[in-house]
Structure 1
Amino acid sequence: MYQNQDYRLYQQDDIAAQACVATSHQLVLMLFSALMDELIRTKSHIKAKRYEHKATSVNKCIDIINALTAVLDFDNGGSVAANLARLYDYCVYRLYDASNQLSIELIVEVEGIITNLYNGWQTLGKK
């Protein structure tokens, strides 16, 4: 038990250290990566019928999506920022539905959208 808790604390410290030196682009990629990891956990909680953990995971996913929405630059981003905001909203609503219906399929749908967006951000970083 303590080893698992110690590892989590170490992992949190490592993420905090990475965030301190990351560019804004890298921070967005970190958020996407954390979101994709949490979506996987959410599916496993549904499969294992750990509904309390599922609820916690869904809330984390929604918090991350809200953080991605909060960093959108609506002043300079134009239609791209507005479209991303709509996509993020759609993902949040699908996660609510997935949580209520205990639907892995809806989470897979959100994973597909998030993966495409993540790949786009990665491509932007290479340019």
Structure 2
Amino acid sequence: MFAPAFSPTKRQLGAYQQVHVTTGVDGASPHRLVQMLFEGLLDSLARARGAMAHGNVAVKGEEIGRAVRIVEEGLKAGLNVEEGGQLARDLHDLYAYVTVRLTYANLRNDEAAIVECVKLIEPIATAWDEIAQKAAA
């Protein structure tokens, strides 16, 4: 499977820190950094859903905001749409859509929009994990 070109910038490293894995960032490969972003994103979405279910508006907003930053500053910003071809362009568009849906979920307190984003992101995160497993084998 083709992996879009990724080289972390200073701004993206800030996004990694938002994932609360700064100790693992220093020695991590670019592939592992993207895995961390997916992990942090899905974790934030789970916490946002939990906060939403408990009526905790502040935590819901913080977690959705964190998720949006991970998508925008980490995953989307790390794509090279010129060298990554159609796959990178498709991911760019998907990440833009996820950002819009998460913003909607936050504004409208819409758990279904969060669930939709999880369903869109999980297969990509799983595929990314499988790349690492196949490379290690």
Q: TM-score range by the shorter chain?
A: 0.7 to 0.9
Counterpart residue number, 1:53 = 59
CA drift at 1:109: 0.7
Query: Which fold has the larger relative contact order, with Cα–Cα distance below 8 Å and residues 6 or more apart in sequence?
Result: 2
1:92 to 66, 89, 99: 99
CA drift at 1:51: 0.7
Counterpart residue number, 1:68 = 75
Code of the residue aligned with 1:26 in structure 2: it is R
Code of the residue aligned with 2:68 in structure 1: it is I
Counterpart residue number, 1:107 = 114
Show structure 1 runs of 5+ residues with no match: 1-11
Quick one: distance in 1 between partners of 2:126 and 2:59?
Answer: 28
Quick one: distance in 2 between partners of 1:58 and 1:94?
Answer: 10
Calculate the aligned-residue CA RMSD, in Å.
1.0
Counterpart residue number, 2:127 = 120
Paired positions, count: 114
CA drift at 1:33: 0.2
Counterpart residue number, 2:12 = none
Q: Which has the higher helix share?
A: 1
**Identical pairs, percent:** 28
TM-score, normalising length: structure 1: 0.85
Quick one: distance in 1 between partners of 2:92 and 2:81?
Answer: 9
CA drift at 1:103: 1.2
CA drift at 1:75: 2.5
Code of the residue aligned with 2:45 in structure 1: it is L
Report the secondary structure of 2:82's partner residue.
helix
